[in-house]
Amino acid sequence: MKAMIVTYGCQMNEYDTHLVQSQLVSFGADIVDSVDVADFVLLNTCAIRGKPVEKVRSLLGDLRKIRARRPLVIGMMGCLAQLEEGQQMARKFGVDILLGPGSLLDIGKALESNERFWGLAFRDELHDHVPPAPAGQLQAHLTIMRGCDHHCTYCIVPTTRGPQVSRHPDDILRELDSLLVAGVQEVTLLGQNVNAYGVDQGARVGGYPSFANLLRLVGRSGVRRVKFTTSHPMNFTEDVAAAMAETPAICEYVHLPVQSGSSRVLRRMAREYTREDYLRHVADIRKHLPHAVLATDIIVGFPGETEEDFQETLSLYDEVGFDSAYMFAYSPRPGTPSYRHFDDLPREVKTERLERLIARQKEWSARKNAAKVGTIQELLLRGEAHDSGFLEGHTRGNHPTVVPKAVGVTGPGVHLARIEHATPHMMYATLVDSAGNALPELPKLNPEAAALTAPLAMA
């Protein structure tokens, strides 16, 4: 079987794609990256906003056309698969296999079945399952919990991914070990709300550490860099900031979605904190980690958001001075309380506010990144950049960065670099040694000369 998975959505979905891909490989499948050669195409879907849903609808339409010409098994997994909206689509386009986010391990059964197979249960085995480490990668995700117990009025995730379930720390550490053995240097702990890790298990005997203590455990494992995403401010404790500060492997990067700067809107979103609470968390983080890089998520144009509310979001942005932000126009999702109870604002209002917010974010990112010029940063270089004389990677603070190749550094790895120039979205750096001296750059070669001096480039 030649199988292809197309992934939409967040890092949780990327992790799940890897999990299902490794199951498929263990059944003897070849993983391919073109629909033209695939006989099984599985869409790993996202339902968080209207746009990713529409992308799935359009790809299902294309796949149906292909299937009219040749045999093709069509599958759908992930968040949209769990919803009536997705299941209607699946029926319309003749999807053969449908797996909700809790049923991914049913993929084997699904492929064996001669009939349409739909799996929508939330199965416990998923939490104990340790997928094999990804081959040849320096970076990996590690799911520490699934689902969410909050009920933000705009959000479909509690419906698609169910209530929160934390993985047992032994399983997490086992998976971490296998990542370390495979040479992974940066591990990102994943969950809808990693700060609430263990809370669902109560005070179970022999049990679960707090998230801060899990960070300490993971940070002592020998892994070079640890990140985590994402955090709900309601569950963010000062101990998490303390654990970050005292554990060198934990990167000083905090993604703490605020969603709005207006307490009135936050209440209508059922976020369970106020603007002031959020600012107190930021102060705690900065107390322990003065150089923390702060990123956030913001929704503009939530139903009932006035211009004054929006101004409060802009002023909160200034007060915190975020390094970066993921910004979204509110998208009404069927099945959520805000869809049922509130009227959507006109599209032009949402778009115009989003543009103003993006402009504010650009100003701040430019300012924050410019302040890093001249500093030495630790880069995780993933490989060649678009321009082959350069390598691309990111800092401990998640800044995308490019460097010219240098003598001794022509491929992936963790290296030091001095930031020379910065734009709001990219840093340009020079590789340096541990004393901060620039490593000699490889000469820029034209293609013919490159062929003659290839051994030098491999140094």
Judged by the rule CB under 6 A, the positions of this chain that interact with ligand SF4 are: 9-10, 12-13, 46-48, 78-79, 157, 160-161
Nearer to ligand SF4, 50 or 411 (CB): 50
Q: Nearest Cα to 134, choosing from 249, 250, 31, 221?
A: 31
Positive or negative, the CA dihedral 96, 142, 390, 408 is negative
- Subset of 264-323 contacting ligand 5AD (CB under 6 A): 297, 299
Which residue in the shown chain puts its C-beta closest to ligand 5AD? 297
Task: Report what 258 binds from ligand SF4, ligand 5AD, none; CB cut-off 5-8 Å by kind.
Answer: none
Tokens 């959020």 locate to 278
Positive or negative, the CA dihedral 75, 76, 78, 81 is negative
**Peptide bond just before 230 cis, omega within 30 deg:** yes
CB proximity list for 75: less than 8 A, separation 6 or greater: 40, 41, 42, 43, 95, 96, 97, 98, 99, 110
Nearer to ligand SF4, 190 or 212 (CB): 190
Q: How far is the CB of 210 from ligand SF4 (least distance, A)?
A: 23
Nearer to ligand 5AD, 195 or 259 (CB): 259
Nearer to ligand 5AD, 45 or 401 (CB): 45
**Cα distance between residue 225 and residue 243, in whole Å:** 14
Which range of residues in 142-150, 195-203, 213-221, 328-336 is near ligand 5AD by CB under 6 A?
A: 328-336
Task: Report what 160 binds from ligand 5AD, ligand SF4, none; CB cut-off 5-8 Å by kind.
Answer: ligand SF4
Task: Report what 278 binds from ligand 5AD, ligand SF4, none; CB cut-off 5-8 Å by kind.
Answer: none
**Cα distance between residue 132 and residue 57, in whole Å:** 31
Binding mask 223-262 for ligand 5AD (x = CB under 6 A): ----------------------------------x-x---
Q: How far is the CB of 159 from ligand SF4 (least distance, A)?
A: 9
**Are the beta carbons of 233 and 277 closer than 8 angstroms?**
yes
CB proximity list for 5: less than 8 A, separation 6 or greater: 17, 20, 21, 31, 41, 42, 43, 44
Task: Report what 13 binds from ligand 5AD, ligand SF4, none; CB cut-off 5-8 Å by kind.
Answer: ligand SF4
Using CB under 6 A as the binding rule, whether residue 417 contacts ligand 5AD is answered as no
If you ran DSSP here, which 8-state letter would residue 393 be given? E
Q: Which residues bind ligand 5AD (CB under 6 A)?
A: 48-49, 154-155, 257, 259, 297, 299, 328, 330-331, 333
